[in-house]
Amino acid sequence: MSKTVSVIVPVYKTEKYIVRCVESLLGQTYKELEILLVDDGSPDNAGKICDEYASEDSRIRVIHQKNAGQSAARNNALKIASGDYYCFVDSDDYIAPDMVEKLYSLAEGNTADISMVDYLTFTGEKAEFTDNKGKTETTSMDNIQMIRNIHMVKDELYVVMWGKLFKRELFNGIEFAEGRICEDLDVLYRLYDKAQKSVFSSEKLYYYFRGNVSSSTFGLNQKFYDDVFWVLEREIRYIDEKYPELSSYPRRTYMYWIVDLAKKKGGIISLGELKQVYKRYRELYRESSSLKKDKFFAFFYYLPSLYVLLKK
């Protein structure tokens, strides 16, 4: 007997796209679905459209909440989700007709806790179709590899919730941090750690829309940087305690964002606040005995040019 997949979709200001999204869910070849549409106090007609779909298909349930952000929407959906697996989709994106079926087959066929597929980015009405049948590669990874991939793979694949299927049990004791922008990463490194096995297929079955300012997109403002450093510091503490041999990975990412912020400091963050971020990095460096043997980190710790940059 097939297991139920709960598909969780936060909805905010996406009345132009929600039909495309929901239609792609209803058209899935895998039918054992529970579709949870969470209207995050959307001021447009998106919530009404969700209700109309719920009246037509019993697999759809709609939650209406006051605007509280994507994390709160996901947390409220998780409270009532009844599926054996969870899948997350953004309401301005859509998915291939067989995405859930492929994710389910990958998880069940490989006895994996997490399954993943690749994605296409688009800006128009629909993603440009790519026929990659017969060229698909499948890779199995343990929890250590997945944590490394957060910081080693140079795209969004390992730091976003979408395009993946998670066993329900992984979320025991885990919820999204409300009021934060980078809530995906804050949850994912812990989910990856709990997953004994994850499997990835290179088939592009998730279609990621760029060009809409919604609950999942944002500008690079001070809050963004504050939240990036907040979540990286949490991850660093977690990794230091459980996997000290991986301590360099989140710290390198932390350094990257310091340099990125330094380049953009005019109008985003004050010089004094930037110096405080760098001070926190130095403290994180000193806390790891293994990093003191790493010339790269030592160089950055004492880097004179960064000091000059911070003084400008």
Give the DSSP letter string of 171-232: GTT--PPTT-S-HHHHHHHHHHHH-S-EEEEEEEEEEEE-S--STT-----HHHHHHHHHHH
Q: Which two tokens stand for residue 299?
A: 């160089």
Neighbours of 275 (CB within 10 A): 13
* Entry pTM: 0.87
* Residue pointed to by tokens 């025991």: 172
What pLDDT is recorded for position 151?
A: 93
What pLDDT is recorded for position 226?
A: 85
Compute the distance between CA of residue 89 and CA of residue 109 in angstroms, rounded to an integer. 23
Q: Is-contact 199 112, C-beta < 8 A?
A: yes
Q: Is-contact 33 87, C-beta < 8 A?
A: no
Q: What is the pLDDT along the chain (312 residues), one digit of tens a residue?
A: 789 999 999 999 999 999 999 999 999 999 999 999 999 999 999 999 999 999 999 999 999 999 999 999 999 999 999 999 999 999 999 999 999 999 999 999 999 999 999 999 998 888 776 665 557 899 999 999 999 999 998 888 999 999 999 999 999 999 999 998 889 999 999 999 999 999 999 999 999 998 754 444 445 677 888 898 899 999 999 998 999 889 888 988 887 887 777 666 555 566 676 677 767 767 766 666 555 555 555 555 555 445 445 545
Buried b (16+ CB within 10 A) or exposed e, 197-212: bbbbbebbbbbbbeeb
What pLDDT is recorded for position 307?
A: 45
Per-residue three-class SS string for 100-143: HHHHHHHHHHCCCCEEEEEEEEECCCCCCCCCCCCCCCEEEECH
Backbone angles phi, psi at 272, to 5 degrees: -65, -40
The distance between the two most distant Cα atoms of the chain, rounded to a whole number of Å, is: 65
HSE-CB at 86 with a 13 A cutoff on CA atoms is 22
Compute the distance between CA of residue 126 and CA of residue 111 in angstroms, rounded to an integer. 33
